[in-house]
Amino acid sequence: MPNVFDNIRDFLFRDEDDGEDDFELPLDESGKLIRPIGKVRRVKHSFRTHSTGQHPSNPQPTSLFDVLPLDDEARALLTIAKAVREQAYAKYSQFHVGAALAAKSGKVYAGVNIENASYPAGICAERSAFAAAITAGEREFSALAIVGGDPDVPCYPCGICRQFIAEFCPADFPIILSDGIYALGGLLPHGFEL
């Protein structure tokens, strides 16, 4: 049975000579993201979202509410989210969403939205990706990319997903959308805690 990453590799590694360096998605043959979080066009990514360190393109300290620009590593996760989005089951809304979750172990977990005639029984792509990762034993995560609808328009996680992500991730956790890298704490400034 073909692995979803086989389709992604076929999509990414088409033979097109655009004059640029080859785009290398940092995955090994098993779909594991190479650690440290890989290299894409020889650009390292630390998935920082605020002043825990300075972002190379923004020497000023940032806050959780700043949106950082996309770099090649963030685009790689977005590409995975876009590719898996095609597997979404969106029979009722026709709004297909894909998510790619990078775990600190190095693996990438994909998720899609799955709708149901009983709407509350459906699941969002973000929670689907987390469910796959958690089922595999993961508990620490590096970043999440989300693509839905028009891939050029940001697809923000819903409120339930934001709170769900906050159960496992800190406020500076990077959420990668089509227009930049957001911090979870900026999207969910007053999350519920027990």
In the chain, the domains with their CATH numbers are 4-184 (3.40.140.10)
Full-model pTM? 0.74
- Give me the helix-helix angle, 125-135 and 159-166, nearest 10°: 30
Catalytic positions, written as ranges: 126
| Percent of the chain surpassing pLDDT 70 | 68
- In 3D space, the residue among 178, 148, 179 whose CA is nearest the CA of residue 161 turns out to be 148
Confidence of residue 36 (pLDDT cuts 50, 70, 90): very low
For the chain, give percent helix, strand, coil, nearest 5. Answer: 25, 20, 55
How many angstroms separate the Cα of 61 from the Cα of each of 4, 39, 74, 92? 38, 24, 20, 44
Judge contact between 24 and 40, C-beta under 8 A: yes
pLDDT in tens, 61-84: 568 888 999 988 899 999 999 999
Highest mean pLDDT among 26-40, 72-86, 88-102: 88-102
| Percent of the chain surpassing pLDDT 90 | 58
